[in-house]
Amino acid sequence: MKVGIVGIGHSKFGKRDDCTVQELAFESFKEALLDAQLTQKDINATVIGSSPEYHKQRSIPGVIAEYLGVNAQPTYLTEAACGSGSAAIRTAYSLIKSGLHDIVAVVGIQKMLELSTPEILALMGRVGDVQWESGFGITFPGYYALFARRHMHMYGTTEEQLAMVAVKAHKYGAMNPKAMFQKEITLEKALSARPVASPLKLFDCCANSDGSATVILAKEDLAKKISDTPVWIEGIASASAPISVIRREYVDRVPSAIVAAKEAYKMAGVGPDDVDVADVHDCFTIAEIMAYENLGFCDIGEGGKLIEEEQTYIGGKVAVNVDGGLKAKGHPVGATGVSMTTEIVKQLRGEAGKRQVDGAEVGLTHNVGGIGQYCFVQIFKR
């Protein structure tokens, strides 16, 4: 029995002080219901993907379920840092495959910008090991700067190549009406921006954001009834890695991503060359370059060259983050994995408009939690 996606919804990402967390959830949930032509009564359970610490309201599934109108159906939250949304999809998938539910809505949501940037930075850092690492002051940009320096040292990756990832993200973000930043940038602008954690500069870093995204999953027979264009989850894998950077064999790659990708490809019966369109976790530009390599789109060390040759643009070897990515779309932590999935569904349905990858048949999401202590890789076919 397969599990298909029959409805998708996406809120505007950005600073959303116009609404509460439950209203923000409803913004994408109602779109997904309309997309699937379902009502609340059809939803057997709801899984919320979110990192709880950002919200004044604790245990948000309670207020969200009430506001969405899905009581008395079950609901709870999954958390895996920035991978929380994909953890929710994994949970929903297994709730359906197990026979417990037929139709499950997954709402990825985060409302971070009630907090100030220093508060967010402090919270983010505490996703690293508090006892031995982040407790001594390293921040998220600091971790990724370390990864970038190592990658540059090992493979000759350049600051220009990092900046090229940002240029691509903003090019496509400008075509995405739901993106936080909808304007293009030049390579010069990216390279001359102020440093955040050298070698990472302002445009190498994604933005904290508010936002929600919803996907509705259904078991195979119902998915075919509900939708003329169901998108099937064909590979769904996850892995973990030591949170402590000091305990990792490599810091120029994300070990959990390599393990998860291998398993997802095996399950889906495809390889990296079969992927037409991918949404990968570009929390920093170096993260997208490592993703190319860890997913097998190129060899280890070749990621910089891949972006330089524009092989991850539409028309290249594999179109990556043509919704703008975390970089231009914004990164409301718990929403991100679900947002990625909505983009892949659009692409496989052929509904991505100006950003459409012609004839896309196989799509992939790659959603990293924290500094790679978790990674979720999911593969979709139409």
Smallest separation (angstroms) from a copy of itself to the CB of 61: 7
Residue 225 or 247: which CB sits closer to a copy of itself?
A: 247
Nearer to a copy of itself, 84 or 342 (CB): 84
DSSP 274-302: G--EEEE--SBHHHHHHHHHHTTSS-TT-
Q: Nearer Cβ to a copy of itself, position 68 or 185?
A: 68
> CB-side exposure of 178: number of CA atoms within 13 Å?
26
CB 257 within 8 A of CB 39: no
Q: Which residues contact 86 (CB under 8 A, 6 or more apart)?
A: 49, 80, 238, 337, 338, 340, 341, 365, 367, 376, 378
Q: Report the nearest approach of a copy of itself to the CB of residue 97 (Å).
A: 3
Smaller CB distance to a copy of itself: residue 4 or 324? 4
CB-nearer residue toward a copy of itself: 63 or 193: 63
- Which residue ranges make up the site for a copy of itself (CB under 8 A)? 20, 45, 51-53, 56-59, 61-63, 65-66, 70-81, 83-84, 87, 90-91, 93-100, 123, 126-127, 129-131, 236-244, 247, 255-256, 259, 369-370, 373-374
Neighbours of 262 (CB within 10 A): 16
Active site amino acids: 82, 331
Backbone angles phi, psi at 164, to 5 degrees: -65, -30
Estimate the crossing angle of helix 117-125 against helix 140-155, to 10 degrees.
60
Cα 207 to Cα 43, 152, 163, 355: the distances in Å are 32, 24, 15, 22
CA distance 253 to 125: 20
Supply the minimum distance, in Å, between the C-beta of residue 165 and a copy of itself: 25
Minimum Å gap between C-beta 342 and a copy of itself is 21
In angstroms, the first-to-last Cα distance of the chain is 16
Nearest approach, Cβ of 100 to a copy of itself (angstroms)?
A: 6
